[in-house]
Chain A
Amino acid sequence: MANENMLLQVKNLHTIFHTEDGTVEAIGGVDFEVKEGETLGIVGESGCGKSVTSLSVMRLLPKGIGEIPQGEVIYKGKNLLKLPEKEMRKIRGKEIAMIFQEPMTALNPVYTVGDQLVEMVELHLGMNKKEAYDYAIKMFEKVGIPMPEKRIYSYPHELSGGLRQRAMIAMMMSCNPSLLIADEPTTALDVTIQAQVLDLMRALLKEYNSSLIMITHDLGVIAEMAERVAVMYAGRIVEYADIIPLFKKPSHPYTVGLMRSIPRPDVEVDRLDSIKGVVPDLFHMPKGCRFNTRCPYTTDKCFEEEPPLFEVEPGHFSRCWRYAEMEELSKHWESGE
Chain B
Amino acid sequence: MASFIIRRILLLPVTLLGLTFLIFFFTSFLSPYQLLSAYVQDPRQLQGGNVEKLIDKYGLRENFMIRYGKWLGQISHGNLGWSLSLNEPVSVVIEQRFPATLELTIYAIIPVIFVGIWLGVVASVHHNGVIDQILRVFALLGYSIPAFVLGLLILFIFYGVLGWLPPGRLDQWAQMIFFSKNFHHYTGLATIDALLNGNIPIFLDALKHLISPILTLSYLSWAGLLRITRSSMLESLGQDYIRTARAKGLSEKMIVNKHARRNALIPATTVAGLMFIGMLGGVIITETIFNYPGIGSFAAQAATQFDYAGILGVALVYGLVTIIGNLIVDISYAMIDPRVRLG
**A positions within 8 Å CB-CB of B:** 55, 58, 60, 62, 89-94, 97-98, 100, 102, 105-112, 119-120, 123-124, 155, 157, 168, 171-172
- Nearest-neighbour CB distance to chain A for B54, whole angstroms, equals 58
A-B contact pairs, 20 of them (CB 8 A): A60-B243, A60-B246, A89-B251, A90-B249, A93-B248, A98-B247, A100-B240, A100-B243, A105-B240, A106-B241, A106-B244, A107-B241, A107-B244, A108-B259, A109-B263, A109-B338, A109-B339, A110-B263, A111-B259, A123-B249
Q: Is the CB of A111 within 8 A of B262?
A: yes
* Secondary structure dominating the interface of B: helix
Q: Interface residues of B, CB < 8 Å — how many?
A: 23
Bound-complex Cα distance A58 to B338 (A): 31
Q: Bound state CA distance, A26 and B135, in angstroms?
A: 35
Cα distance A60–B244 when bound, in Å? 10
| Shortest distance between the CB of A154 and any CB in chain B (Å) | 9
Find out whether the CB atom of B249 lies under 8 angstroms from the CB atom of A94.
yes
Residue of A97, A102, A123, A157 touching B247 (CB-CB under 8 A): A97
Contact A157 B239 (CB under 8 A): no
1/0 per residue B212-246: CB within 8 Å of A? 00000000000000000000000000111101111
Contacts of A90 in B (CB 8 A): 249
Tell me whether B336 is interfacial, beta carbon within 8 Å.
yes
Knowing A91-B249, A93-B249, the reply to whether A110 touches B338 (Cβ < 8 A) is: yes
> In the complex, what residues of B have CB within 8 A of residue A60's CB?
243, 246-247
Contact status A100-B244, CB under 8 Å = yes
Closest CB in chain B relative to A68 CB, distance in Å: 16
Instruction: Report if A58-B262 is in contact (Cβ < 8 Å); known contacts: A109-B339, A110-B337.
Output: no
Contacts of B339 in A (CB 8 A): 109, 155, 157
Complex CA gap A94/B249 in Å reads: 8
Q: Are A108 and B241 interface neighbours, CB within 8 A?
A: yes
Taking a contact as CB atoms closer than 8 A, the residue among A55, A110, A111, A120 that contacts B249 in the complex is A120
- What are the 10 closest A-B residue pairs judged by CB atoms, nearest first? A93-B249, A92-B249, A105-B240, A93-B248, A108-B241, A98-B247, A155-B338, A106-B240, A89-B249, A106-B244
Among B239, B243, B246, B250, point to the contact of A119 (Cβ < 8 A).
B250
With A100-B240, A100-B243, A108-B245: A123-B250 Cβ-Cβ less than 8 Å: yes
Which chain A residues border B247 with CB–CB below 8 Å? Answer: 58, 60, 92-93, 97-98, 100, 172
Distance of A184 Cα from B107 Cα, bound (Å): 52
